[in-house]
Amino acid sequence: MESRNRSLFLNTAFASIIGLLAAVSNPVCAAKPVELKNDQIIKPELKRRKIETADIDTEDYEVSLFGGALSIEDFGVNAVFGARIAYHITENFFAEFAVGSSEADKTSFEVLSGGLQLLVGDERDFTYYNVSVGYNLFAGESFFGKRAYNSDLYLIGGIGNTTFANDDHFTWNIGVGYRFIPKDWMAIHIDVRDHMFNSDLLGADKLIHNLELTVGFSFFF
Amino acid sequence: MRIIIFFLFVFQLLLSQQALGKDEFLEVIVLDPFLEMHTGPAAGYPVTHVIERNEKIKVLKRKTDWFKIRTKKNKEGWVHISELRQTLTLDGERTRFHEYGIEDFRKRKWEIGLMGGDFDGAASLTVFGNYYLTPTLSTELSFTQAIGNFSSSLMANARIAAHPFPEWRVSPFFALGGGIIDTSPKGTLVQTVDRQDPIAHVSLGADIYIKKRFIVRVEYNQYKVFTSRNDNEEVTEWKAGIVAFF
């Protein structure tokens, strides 16, 4: 393209010089100027189509809403709700940010003692956030009747914070999940997680385990 | 609650996007003897079809390094980027796909990241966002939660960072900033009041380019808390984390 431009330029320049020389040397010619029909020089008819490969729709993010049961150690099993957003880094690894909220029930001590309360009002609120890394262990197909659907079994673990009894607790979480993918753009999750943190709420400082079982729906975008 | 509203908003956006779906897909011609089509976007999913050389296929969408394609016979499946590179565009050129590399790292404008570390004995979690005014100068905004045995703190900081060697793979930086820290003691301890104090810091750290659009950042911060008491407090913090750039 560049060389064509250059030759076009040279041709034009050359023709102009000839024309100029002719005009100077021969005044008769000057009355009829040399006509340069630039538009007759062959122009390429094909225009290169530019395709922006970046236009391909990427679906590396996944948002989900979930609900289920959370067993808060010593405080019974309670309903939990929350949301997650995941970014799929490679086909195997993904990063996930999650928030969840639950409310602690009474300890058996509180139930047996009658009116005594260990926690009052919003102290019973159990909210957490965490950031985790997941690894898709078994990508494959699950058969539902005679139809095959894509699915993944993944391991996940991370760190975060849990606010319980109006205190913040640095929290580790580990778990395993199953992702059932009926459509490319949506999936159903079943997750089991253990949220672990140190608490001295009932006297001695100990590591408490809060097991969570949830079902969620997710969308890829 | 706010977070739930945010997610609902994202869902709505998603649905509207799907409704708008375009039908202009990139078309490529297979160069390899054959391409393998998997049922899903990972090597673990079974191969159900192969596409022969010279066949024209449409590229519908991408998930990580996998591309969903459609054949002439309307069969759909997923092909890995390494195989899709062995195709020609309709102009007869090799198909190229954009992949983030070290050049993008050197020219990065926006960053978001997440770090974990030790804030004077307490576990700390930080989220931050950076904007590069020039390759050597960035402005940063961060939120940190430090969860200790006796108290927990929330901290917001703004700072300016200088990156003297932006072209290095391991690029050091130093920064100066200030903000506010809110400290609340544990509920199980004797009741004391919450404190809110101004805070300033200097920091030294490095960005280490890993792969694609990911960076590992390590940093050391020296804080000065301007308390309302007679003495100011000095706090040191170590942290490391992962950063994505755009």
Q: At which residue do the structure tokens 């596409």 appear?
A: B51
**Residues A64, A218: contact at Cβ < 8 Å?**
yes
Q: Is the pLDDT of residue B73 over 50?
A: yes
CB contact under 8 A, A219 and B11: yes
- Model confidence, pTM: 0.75
Tokens read off for A218 = 């997710």
**Residues B220, B203: contact at Cβ < 8 Å?**
yes
The SS3 call for residue A39 is helix
**Between A95, A141, A221, which is nearest B45 by CB?**
A141
| Residue A113: per-residue pLDDT | 87
Q: Is the pLDDT of residue B177 over 60?
A: yes
What is the distance between the alpha carbons of residues B151 and B171, in angstroms, rounded to a whole number? Answer: 35
* Cα of B141 to nearest chain A Cα, Å: 19
- Residue among A48, A167, A207 with most chain B CBs within 10 A, to mutate: A167
Q: Which residues contact B88 (CB under 8 A, 6 or more apart)?
A: B28, B29, B31, B94, B95
What is the distance between the alpha carbons of residues B143 and A27, in angstroms, rounded to a whole number? Answer: 83
Classify the complex by whether its ipTM is higher than 0.90, answering yes or no. Answer: no
Q: Give the tens place of pLDDT for each residue, A12-31.
A: 555 555 554 454 445 444 44
pLDDT band at A89 (very low <50, low <70, confident <90, very high): confident
What is the distance between the alpha carbons of residues B124 and B153, in angstroms, rounded to a whole number? Answer: 9
Instruction: Name which residue leads in pLDDT, A31 or A132.
Output: A132
Tokens read off for B35 = 């391409």
Residue B230: how many CA atoms within 13 Å on its side-chain side? 0
Residues in B touching A150 (Cβ below 8 Å): 39-40, 45
**Residues B76, B25: contact at Cβ < 8 Å?**
no
**Residues A58, B41: contact at Cβ < 8 Å?**
no
CB contact under 8 A, A159 and B68: no
Instruction: Name which residue leads in pLDDT, A45 or B211.
Output: B211
CB contact under 8 A, A161 and B97: no
Contact status of B82 with chain A (Cβ, < 8 Å): no
% of chain B exceeding 70 in pLDDT: 87
